Amino acid sequence: MLINIINKNKQISPHFKRKASLTVESSLVMPLFLFTILLFIYIGEYVSLQSEVTSAAYGVATEISEYSSLLKKANVSHDKIPAGILTTAYAKNKIIKAVGENRIKYFVKNEKNGMKCQMNISDDIDIKVNFYFKTGVYNFFGLNNMKVSCRAKSKAWTGKIYRIKDDDELVYVAENGVVYHRLLSCTFIKLSVRPVLFSDISNARNRAGGKYYPCEKCKMKKIENGIVFITNDGSRYHTFVNCSEIKRTIHSVPLGKVQGKGICSRCGME
């Protein structure tokens, strides 16, 4: 009986109520915060993997282009061409090795078997690689269903080695580009794509301190998960990572074959 009277007279302190309220709020906010961080990590891996596969495919295309030109020369023995180098299987294995088997295992659906590689050999070495991104978390924000498409082209090497002229220098041209580049590493063609929250885009700035505005090509697309994509040197934000404005298909061509294009202001003077 005495215990009941004490319990009725006992009051909960306001400090305890505030503390309990903060604990409940923290339990609600923390999972959302962790999911947001995880989303950024996976989107970063998506963009990074696409860039790595494209770069690896370009390296293979350049290597194969040297040997493909030998096939057109009647006086060159096929013994000088490494076995299997002109096959799709060779290109795929080289790309996997360059990217790293562990990254393929963790982020590519069905791992090596999930990477579909196509190669066309003519005047250009054209390599296409398609696969589906894997997060390891069941359909995390739809990322498991995102298709990754990579493409690289390289001009087949022709001509004689002893004919070295300025016009024989290989330069790089982006598809639909208006200038040519002396360096493949030029930031105008090797873009550093990164995800940002759409709610923060008004505060984001590029390398020159400028703001970002909607991309004319993809601004009508639905913004998925509140994420948009920007580059360090661009002035537009994009609603999906495969927008043609930030996805580059690069061709290597002899300087003498470049017509109607000026030299890049960034890498042309280096």
Predicted confidence (pLDDT) per residue in 130-148, tens digit: 998 887 666 655 566 788 8
Task: Please give the Cα distance from 39 to 227 (Å, whole number).
Answer: 9
Q: Which residues of 14-37 are buried (b: 16+ CB within 10 A; e: fewer)?
A: eeeeeeeeeeeeeeeeeeeeeeee
CA angle, 187 then 189 then 191, to 5° = 60
Query: What's the pLDDT tens digit per position in 148-192?
Result: 888 888 876 654 443 445 556 788 887 767 788 888 778 777 777
- Report if residue 66 sits inside a domain: yes
| Contact criterion met (CB below 8 Å) for 182 and 166 | no
* Parent domain of 116: 30-158
**If you average pLDDT over every residue of the chain, what do you get?**
75
Query: What's the pLDDT tens digit per position in 232-266?
Result: 878 889 887 778 777 767 777 888 878 778 888 87
- Report if residue 97 sits inside a domain: yes
Number of domains in the chain: 1
User: What per-residue confidence (pLDDT) applies to 36?
Assistant: 78
Q: Would you list the DSSP string of 75-107?
A: TS-GGGSPTTTTSHHHHHHHHHHHH-HHHHHHH
Phi and psi at 100, nearest 5°, equal: 110, 125
